Structures are given as structure tokens and as C-alpha cells.
Copies of this chain bind each other. A is one copy, B any other.
Amino acid sequence: MQKHQVTIIDIARKMGISKSTVSRALTNNANIKPETREAVIRVANEMDYQPNMLALGLIKNETRMLGVIIPDIEKPFFASIVSGIQHAAARMNYRIIIAQSDESPEIEKENIKALMLSRVDGFLICHTRDTRDFEQIKQLHSKGVPLVSFARICQELPIPKVVEDDFNGLFTTTQHLIERGKKRIALFAGPKHLLASRLRLNGYKTALQQHNIPFNPKLVKHSKFLTENVEEAMEYWLNLPEPPDGICTVYDGGAIKIIEILKRKGIKIPEQIAVTGFGNDSWASIIDPGLTTYEQKPFEIGQIAGKFMLELLTKGKPSMYSQLTISKGSLIVRQSS
């Protein structure tokens, strides 16, 4: 569409000098007479010259673009991460290309392929919930493509990884309920195969253990983050001879459903049953009762991931401590506990 963009050759012709000289004047490293430089720069501005990054990229074999692959940007958690990455990248004059996998491993693969074709300088990836096959990303790694993994990471690869503190999150909320005097604390957990689920389960177990509370398998229900799962679990727990007096969940969305059910049944929160969440979603402070939850710092996760990528890009290798970085969250106590 755009009418012929001004090139250094146009400038050179206009000034009656060679394009090499123009190039040198515009890049400030080579040796050139100061007056010439100034003259060229003036003409370049007059003609509204804009360097062609494509040509430059072709030579330097870089695009200053980073591929960011996430499951779903409409989830606030991911949106904040993306924001963090973008801010970190912008500071170093990198652009980010967003591709969503929609939680589909196939689309994830296609996205990686497409971004490889676009010759991005590196990838920041958060895998799908169902991604089991890491062959493709391993190939990228063996080709030497800079890679950073976050949130849902690929453990098998020696690349920088940034995750939220799953273990500590559930350890903290569970311990909090124990300190509130709760004895029979249930856990509404995530899918078994997810690393994050296992870590959170461990945090829960460890908290119990440290306070000499025996682990009761009946009080743990795995879920697929579905409303039905919540209902089934509550049905089951409330009909136990000794129902729980506290329920930890691994995501705020689950906690809110539980609170709804408890309110409907007239069970007092937190006196009879206390509830905790995970994530500090935007509405956690708005609902009644306010939800006690573990706040994550997704923006920070994004920033750290971005920082590692830039380290990879400049130094070639990230600092030693970068293999697995755990972003600490913090407990936010509200009326539900």
C-alpha cells in the first residue's frame, strides 16, 4: 500500500554520495566526517527516512521479536503475565507476538511452528494443561533457540523456568486454617497429572504433618475445575459422619462455588466451615464473605520470565540461579476464615 518508502539509496542519490556513506552516517559506529554525518542525518529527517528492519534482520539474523505462547489471554492470570513480559521486553527494545493455544496441544504446536517461521528471536511458553509431548520444544532447544518456560513448565529441559509458589500457597492457606483452630481440613484439589496440583497437594500435606494432623484421604477430592466437581465433592463431604470444618481450594473459582453452597445450606462461614482460595482473583475482596486466599504475582512472573529471555538473548546463558525461579505470593486474610 504505502508509497515507496525512502531508502538509504534515495538519500545517497539525492546527496550525490554512496549508500555506504549514508549507512555509516546513520549507524553511529564507523568512521565518518562529522559534517557528512550531520548532513546525512538532516536529509534523512527531511525525507522521513525509516530504516527497514527486514533488511537489517536479514543481515543480523534477528527480528527483535519474541514469541509468547499462552493458553488463553482472557484469563487474568495470563493477561498479567503477558503484561509483565511485554514491559520487560519493551525496555530492551523487543516486541512480543502473542499466540493463544486455547488449551489445545495441537494449536500450541502449530503456533510454535508459525512463530519459528516468523523467525522470532526466542520463545516464552506456557504449556497447555494437556501438553504431554515435549518433543517439538526439545528440538527447538537442541537447535539453540532461546527458550523460557513459565507457569506450566517443561521440567525436562535445562532452561529458565518461572512458576508461582504452588507448594507454599497451599502450605500457607492450610496452616492458616490450622492456626484458626480447624481440625478436619479438606482439600479441593486439581487434576492429578498436573505438576501444580501435585505441588499444592504436597503443600497441604506438609502443613498437616508439621502440625501433627493425620492425613485423611477422604478429605481430598481431585477435580477438573468444573462446577459439577465442586457439587459432588461438597455432597460427599457434608454427608460424612465427621464433615470438614475447613476447606482449602486450589483456585478461587472453586472456593466461590463452595461458599455459595455453604450459604445456601445455611452453614456459617467461617465458624462452622472456613474456606480458602488460591489466586486472589479480582472479585475475592468483593464477595461476601471476603475470600481468604493466596495472592499470586503474575505480573512479576512475566517480568522475570522476560528478564531471563533478555539475558539469554544478550549473554547467551542466563545466570545460574535462573533454572527454576519461584515467585513468592502472600496470604490475604479475609472473612472466610
Contacts and interface: CB of A to CB of B under 8 A. Distances in A.
Interface of A: 1-3, 50-55, 57-58, 63-65, 72-74, 76, 79-80, 82-83, 86-87, 90, 93, 95-100, 114-119, 143-146, 256, 281-283, 286-288, 299, 316
B114 A95 contact: yes
Contacts of A283: 281-283, 286-287
Given A1-B146, A282-B282, 4 more contacts: A50-B117, A58-B58, A65-B97, A73-B86
A74 B83 contact: yes
The dominant DSSP class at the A interface is mixed
Nearest to A97: B95
Copies of this chain present in the complex amount to: 2
B98 A86 contact: yes
Given A54-B58, A117-B50, A287-B288, A80 B74 contact: yes
Contacts of A299: 74
A231 to B, nearest CB: 17
Contact of A54 (B63, B144, B256): B63
21 contacts: A1-B145, A1-B316, A52-B58, A53-B118, A54-B63, A54-B119, A72-B83, A74-B76, A74-B79, A74-B299, A87-B100, A90-B99, A95-B97, A95-B114, A96-B98, A97-B97, A98-B98, A282-B282, A283-B283, A283-B287, A288-B288
B51 A118 contact: no
A30 B143 CA distance: 32
A299 B1 CA distance: 28
A269 to B, nearest CB: 13
A289 to B, nearest CB: 10
A115 B97 CA distance: 12
A146 B2 CA distance: 9
A221 to B, nearest CB: 22
A63 B120 CA distance: 12
A117 B51 contact: yes
Given A50-B117, A76-B74, A144 B86 contact: no
Contacts of A287: 283, 286-288
A69 to B, nearest CB: 11
A1 B55 CA distance: 19
Contacts of A288: 287-288
A100 B98 CA distance: 13
Nearest to A63: B54
A202 to B, nearest CB: 30
A263 to B, nearest CB: 9
A53 B146 contact: no
A50 B95 CA distance: 22
